[in-house]
Each structure stands twice: as structure tokens, then as C-alpha cells.
Chain A
Amino acid sequence: MNEYLNIFFVILRRDLTLAFRNKSEFINPLMFFVIIIILFPLAFGSDSALLKQLTSGIIWISALLATCLSLEAIFRSDFEDGSIEQLTLARYPLTLLVSAKVTAHWLTFGLPLIIVALLTGLVLSVPSQTMLALLITLLLGTPVLSLIGAITVALTIGLRGGMLLSLLILPLYMPVLIFSMLAVQNATVGQSIAAEIYFLSGILVLAITLAPITTAAALRIRLS
């Protein structure tokens, strides 16, 4: 059993070192995330009551769009230098290797995104219980974004048609966005957010079980 765990961590460590080696791929989505958030006060006027109400929504939508941009990085470099073939043809199940890569993507993009999102939340004076709901929904939501995103990236890597990835992925992200936003709004008015959190964790568990297998199948199809 530890043979499989060992290979999981080898691939994970490899991807993390790769991410730290070329920082631009790792920092750009965060900068993009902050820039989108800055657009909204410019659009609505900085101190308007409307902005107060929308802040957590803006944070979540910017997180979603930033993840959308960062998804390409999971397989693009492997696809270009051919190591995706080596992964597909290794003796270990491709599902395991793919989940290692998706975990690496979440650690390099999802986690920093949550930290930066919370910082911007503080700066934009979001009330504390909304911050808590924002943190929980982001913690449950961003892995789902990475997992489902990996399927679509595996299908569309290297294809012409630039926005194809976002066109395919955003409809699948809507349930996560809907439940997160409902949880955040309930938290702002002090109601319990248990229902939405249950649903989000349900979607997360579904994504964890089904997404890696589908990504492996999608990769095999894309390589054929």
C-alpha cells in the first residue's frame, strides 16, 4: 500500500517544486483575483451601501474566475514536454497520479487564493460572521473547482478555441457558487448555514470520488 502513497507524494512534491520554481504561473491568478475585486468599487462608488452588500459575492466570483484561469497550469506543461505520456503509461493507475496533480494544483492555487480572499475581505471590512462563512465555503468550494476543472482541462488541453475551457467549465461551477453565496448571505443575516454547508460537502465528496477517474479517462482520450 505504501508504494501507491509513495508515488502519490513523489508526484505531489514534483509539482510543488515545479510551482515554486516558476513563480509567475503561481502568482498571476492571485494578482488577477485582486484586480477584479478592485474593479467593483470603481464601478459602484467606494462607500455605497450596495458595495457593502455585494463584497462577499464579488470575492467569490473573482475567486471562481481566478481559478478558471489557473486551471490550464495543471496539465499544460506536462502536455508540452511529453511527461503526460509517461504518467499515462506508468505502472500506477492514472487516477492516482491525476489526483496527486490536482491536489498539487489546489495547494498552489486554492490555498493562497483563500488566504488572499480573506485578506481582501478584512480590507473591505466584511463583517466577521460573513468572513467565517466565506472561509468555510471557500475551503469546501475551491477543491471542487480544481477537481471538476481538471476534467475539462484534460479534455481541452492544447486545442484551438481559446475560451473553450471557460465555456465548458462555468456551467458546472454554478451549483458551487449558488450554495456558497446562499451560505454567505444567511451568515450575514445571522441565520444558520448548515444546509448549504451540507450540500457543498456533498458536492465535494462527489467530486473527490468521481472527478479523478473521469480526468484519467479524459486524458487517455485526449492523448489518443
Chain B
Amino acid sequence: MSIFNIKNLQCIRRDNILFQGLNFDLEQGGLLQIDGVNGSGKSSLLQMCVGLIQASEGSINWNGVNIKESRYQFQSDMTYFGHSNGVKAELTARENMKVMHALSGDKSDIDYSSILKQIGLAGLEDVLLSRMSAGQKRRVGLSRIFMTQSKLWLLDEPFNALDKNGKKIIEQLIVKHCTAGGMVIFATHQTMEIDGYPLQHIHLGNET
């Protein structure tokens, strides 16, 4: 019985059917890429997997239980990173990370400077995000994945606004998380260099 399972999912946005009859199972260490042209429903599928949007048909199950029934159990096992970074521009990087860390419920204390160093923002702990570039803000937003123990990561276009080495850092992180038994679902149209790690695919949109 798979850990994360999508059963016969259908999505209707503004009265037109984006996709239907979607079935997928993700096991321990699974890495899933959702690709498709803009407007093909990539983000909608991710938001459904997370429970933000109600699926008109079909169900999404975590450890065999529909996520609607066990909402908070599911939410404590997953981290979502959407189009918008989910960080406050008026707060400094450290304050933002403190809030993210508290929200993730992870008990261990975290060295923020080392995380910032890992994502290439060394020394920017006390800089207001309003003074940072879009790419830097995106990295601060992405730093939430360093601070959670959650098993499942759902990333919506994690690479946009990131430069080449930013993308490399995130790719390594994803591979490290998957080899350690975690699971990652991400939506992107860019190609991934993950040197041979088994990558599963879902393609949305009718032009295959």
C-alpha cells in the first residue's frame, strides 16, 4: 500500500476540465516531476495534492488515509513551496526563517547562518528582504526545506528566479532528501540534472 497515492483525480477550473482520471503512486525515496505547458494544470495538481483546492472527483491518500480526513497528520509530514515565496518583505532573513522554523514544528535548534551559507546567501542574516533580489528572496523562501523533518516535499516551480548554481544547490538537496528516504513532487518545465536518480514523470496537457 503506497505512502502517497493519487486515485482517479479530476480537476475542473472555471468550468473546463484540465485533467481527469489521474492515478499515481509514490513510494519511499520517490522523485516525481510534473511537467506540461503553462495553464495545463501543473499548479492546480500540486495544490490539490496539498489539499488547498478541492478535487471535484477522485481522492488523494497519505498512508492510505484520505488527506481530507487526516488533514493535520498529513500537513505535519509535508512541506509546500508555491509560486509565491511565502516570506514577508518587511522582515529580515533571520526573522523570516525563525517564523518558518516555528511553523514547521521542528524542535531542534537551527543555525540560521549555516543554512544561509548552504543556499548561497552567506552573511545576509539581518538584511531586510525588501532589499534583496527576487532570486535571493526565492532562496530565503526555499530555505524552509532545510528546517523541516517532513518526509514529503511539494515544490511548485522551485527553479524560477534562481541562477545556475542556485538550481544546482536545490537539485543536490532534492536528491539528498530522496536518497535519505524522503519523497519530492515538483512541477517545472525546466530539465533536471540529477545524474541518474530514477525520475518518475506525470505529463499534463493534451499535446504529448
Contacts and interface: CB of A to CB of B under 8 A. Distances in A.
Interface residues of B, number: 29
A18 B87 CA distance: 12
Nearest to A11: B99
Contact of B103 (A80, A82, A90): A90
Contact of A18 (B75, B83, B90): B90
A206 interface: no
A6 B102 contact: yes
A73 to B, nearest CB: 12
Interface in A39-98: 77, 80-83, 85-93
B75 A91 contact: yes
Given A18-B91, A85-B84, A224 B52 contact: yes
**How extensive is the interface on chain A, given as a class?**
20 to 34
Nearest to B102: A10
Contact of A89 (B52, B95, B105): B52
Nearest to B48: A224
Contact of A82 (B51, B76, B85): B85
A209 interface: no
A83 B86 CA distance: 4
B91 A86 contact: no
B87 A83 contact: yes
A77 B83 CA distance: 16
B122 interface: no
B168 interface: no
A21 B105 contact: no
Contact of B85 (A10, A14, A81, A87): A81
A80 B89 CA distance: 11
A64 to B, nearest CB: 28
A132 interface: no
B95 A86 contact: no
A14 B95 contact: yes
B147 to A, nearest CB: 12
B80 A85 contact: yes
B103 A7 contact: yes
B98 interface: yes
Contacts of A88: 52
A187 to B, nearest CB: 42
A103 B79 CA distance: 27
B52 A92 contact: no
B76 A91 contact: yes
Interface in B28-61: 50-54
A198 B65 CA distance: 46
A85 B102 contact: no
Contact of B87 (A22, A81, A92, A224): A81
A80 to B, nearest CB: 8
> In the complex, which of the residues A22, A87, A224 has the most CB atoms of chain B within 10 Å of its own CB atom?
A224
B52 A82 contact: no
B142 interface: no
Interface of B: 50-54, 72, 75-76, 78, 80, 82-91, 95, 98-100, 102-105, 144
26 contacts: A7-B105, A11-B99, A14-B91, A18-B88, A18-B90, A21-B90, A81-B87, A82-B82, A82-B85, A82-B86, A83-B87, A85-B80, A85-B84, A86-B86, A86-B144, A87-B103, A88-B52, A89-B80, A90-B75, A90-B105, A91-B75, A91-B103, A91-B104, A93-B72, A224-B53, A224-B54
Given A17-B90, A18-B90, A81-B88, 12 more contacts: A7-B105, A14-B88, A82-B82, A82-B83, A83-B88, A86-B86, A87-B103, A89-B80, A90-B104, A91-B76, A92-B103, A223-B52
